[in-house]
Amino acid sequence: MSELRGLLAEVAARVADYRESVADGPVFPEETDIRDALGELPEHPRPAADVIGELAEAVAPALVATTGPRYFGFVTGGALDAATAADMLATGWDQSAFNVVTSPAAAIVEDVAGEWLKDVLRLPSTASFGFVTGGQGANTVCLAAARHHVLARAGWDVERRGLNGAPPLKVIASEERHATIDRSLRLLGLGTDAVTPVGADGQGAIDIDGLERTLDGPAIVCLQAGNVNSGAFDDFAAATEIAHRHGAWVHVDGAFGLWAAASPASRPLVAGVERADSWAVDGHKWLNVPYDSGYAFCAHPGSHAAAMSLTAAYLTGQGDGDVRAPSDFVPESSRRARGFATWAALGELGRAGIAELVERCCALARRFAEQLTKAGFTVVNDVVLNQILVSFGDETDRVVEAVQRSGECWMGTTTWHGRRLMRVSVSSWSTTEADVDRSVAAIQAAWASVASRG
Ligand SMILES: *Cc1c(COP(=O)(O)O)cnc(C)c1O
C-alpha cells in the first residue's frame, strides 16, 4: 500500500470508529483543554501520517458528540452516512465550485441538487439558488438580493452607488427574529437600526396586525419558518399578502423549519410560504449534511445575480452555455464543492426518507414533551415541530448544567418570554425513542441532584 493510500484508509477507519461508537461515550467531554497536546509549530517537514495521528489523538478529548443520537443543543443535526462520505470525497477531489470551467462536476452537481431541494421544499421551480455556508450565509445572500430589488424599484442602483444617499430602506422583522438577521443587516450596510421590530404572539409567531401597521414605503419583511426557541411558524399566507400589497419584499428565515414542507403531516405549518421572495435554509441542521451547508433561494433570479455575481457576465451567459455559474449566487469565488454532500443526503434519503426524518423528529419531540410533563416538569411551548422548551423554575440553569455534566445528553438554555428555559431540539436521523427515554431519565436525575442539594 502506498503511503497516501495507507493514510487515507487509516483516516476512513478513524471516522468509522468515531461514528460507530459516538453513541457510547459522553455527549460532552469532561476535560477539554487540548492546547498543550497540539504542541509547537514544527521547524521541519514531517510525515503526513505522523501529523494526522497526532491531530487525531490530540483533539479526541475535546470532540463533542453532535453527530450522535443524544445531542439536543442549538438546532444541530447529525450527519448522514452518504453525506459524510460525499463530503470526504469533496475534500479528496478538491474541486473549486467557482463555475463550470473550474469544475463541471461541482457546478453541475449543485445545479441538480438545487433543483431537487426546490422540489422537496416545494419552492417555485423558477427560483434561483446558491449553496452557502449555512443559515447565516443564506440570510445574508437573500437580504442582499432584497436590498438590490427594493432599491432598484425606488430608482437606486445599490451595487453601483452603495448606500450613501440611497432612499431609506426599512427592514420589518419580528422581535423574535434570529440573531443572524441582525448580523446580515450589519454586513449589508443597512445596520441594525434599520429594523422596525414587530411583536410576536404567545408562541413566538409574528403579529400580523403589527406587521401591517409598520408598512409604509420601500421595505423588506423578514418572516420565520421555525422560531429558534419555540419552533413556531409565522402566518405566511396572511403576511405575504399584506407585505406584497405594500410592495415589500418578503424574506423567510427557514433555517430548520422550512423542512416542514417536506412532509405532508407538517406541511400545513408552512402554507403560503412559497409566495415569499426569498428563503434561507440550512443543510447542516435538519437535512443532516455535515457542517458548512446552507441554501439561499430567490424568486427573482435577476435580483439574486445582480446582488451576488462577480461581474455582470451572468447577463450574457457565463461559462458553458446553460450551466449556471454557482459563484454568481453566493459571496465567494473559489469555494468548496458543497453540492456533493447535499446531493448524497437527498439521494440517501429520497423524498420519502426526508419526509420520514422530519416526521420522526417531530414525533420524538412530542414524546419528549409528554414524558417531561408526566415527570412533573413544565413544557412551555406548543410542540408543533422539533423544539421543546422546558421550565424548572428558578433551578433551570442548575438542572441544565447537571444534565450537561452527566454526559448522557446535551441541551442548552435560552431566555424566552422572560423565562430561563431548557431548550431541546430533535434534529438528528440517529435519535431513537430509547434515546429520548434515556435523556428524560437523565433530566430527572439532574433535577433530583439539584433538589437534594437545596
Ligand atoms: C441556526 C439558525 C440560523 C443560522 O444558521 P447557521 O447555519 O448557524 O448560520 C438562522 N436562523 C435560524 C432560525 C436558525 O435556527
SS (H, E, C) 370-413: HHHHHCCCEECCCCCCCEEEEEECECHHHHHHHHHHHCCCECEE
Q: Is the pLDDT of residue 320 over 60?
A: no
Is 358-453 the same fold as 85-344? no
Distance 227 CA to ligand 1 centre (A): 10
Pocket of ligand 1 (CB under 6 A): 75, 134-136, 178, 180, 226, 228, 253, 255-256, 282, 294
**Residue bearing the CA closest to ligand 1, atom 5:** 135
- Which residue, among 67, 57, 64, 85, has the nearest Cα to 19 in the 3D structure? 67
Host H or E run for residue 172: strand 170-174
Looking at domain 358-453, its CATH superfamily turns out to be Aspartate Aminotransferase, domain 1 (3.90.1150.10)
Q: Which CATH architecture has domain 85-344?
A: 3-Layer(aba) Sandwich (3.40)
Distance separating the N- and C-terminal Cα atoms of the chain = 62
Q: Nine-digit cell at 420? A: 430561563
Mutate to test the pocket of ligand 1, among 66, 75, 177, 178 (most ligand atoms within 8 A of CB): 178
Q: What are phi and psi of 164, to 5 degrees?
A: -65, 120
Residue 254's identity, in one-letter code, is: G
pTM, rounded to two decimals? 0.97
Q: What percent of the chain has pLDDT over 90?
A: 95
Q: Could you identify the atom of ligand 1 that is nearest to the CA of residue 282?
A: 7
- Which residue, among 296, 275, 454, 347, has the nearest Cα to 109 in the 3D structure? 347
* The pLDDT value given to residue 318: 47
Q: Are 384 and 257 in contact (CB under 8 A)?
A: no
Mutate to test the pocket of ligand 1, among 253, 273, 279, 387 (most ligand atoms within 8 A of CB): 253
Number of Cβ atoms within 10 Å of the Cβ of 182? 18
**Residue bearing the CA closest to ligand 1, atom 4:** 135
Domain extent listing, the chain = 3-67, 85-344, 358-453
Q: Could you identify the atom of ligand 1 that is nearest to the CA of residue 284?
A: 7
Q: Are 147 and 158 in contact (CB under 8 A)?
A: yes
- Which strands, in side-by-side order, build the sheet including 378-379? 378-379, 387-391, 419-425, 412-416
Q: What is the average per-residue pLDDT within 18-45?
A: 96
* The pLDDT value given to residue 424: 98
Q: Is the pLDDT of residue 197 over 70?
A: yes
**Residue bearing the CA closest to ligand 1, atom 14:** 255
Host H or E run for residue 50: helix 48-59
**Residue bearing the CA closest to ligand 1, atom 3:** 135
Q: What percent of the chain has pLDDT over 70?
A: 97
Cα(79)–Cα(71) distance, integer angstroms: 12
Q: Is the pLDDT of residue 317 over 70?
A: no
Q: Rg of the chain's alpha carbons, rounded to an integer? A: 23
Q: Is the pLDDT of residue 70 over 70?
A: yes
**Residue bearing the CA closest to ligand 1, atom 10:** 135
Q: Are 137 and 296 in contact (CB under 8 A)?
A: yes
Distance 168 CA to ligand 1 centre (A): 27
**Complete DSSP assignment for 74-135:** TT-----HHHHHHHHHHHHHT--TT-TTT-HHHHHHHHHHHHHHHHHHT--TT-EEEEESSH
Distance 104 CA to ligand 1 centre (A): 30
Cα(312)–Cα(318) distance, integer angstroms: 9
* The pLDDT value given to residue 311: 79
pLDDT in tens, 365-423: 999 999 999 999 999 999 999 999 999 999 999 999 999 999 999 999 999 999 999 99
* The pLDDT value given to residue 450: 96
Q: Are 404 and 28 in contact (CB under 8 A)?
A: yes
Dihedral of the alpha carbons of 338, 343, 348, 354, in degrees to the nearest 10: 90
Burial 333-359 (b: 16+ CB within 10 A, else e): eebbbbbbbbbbbbebbeeebbbebbe
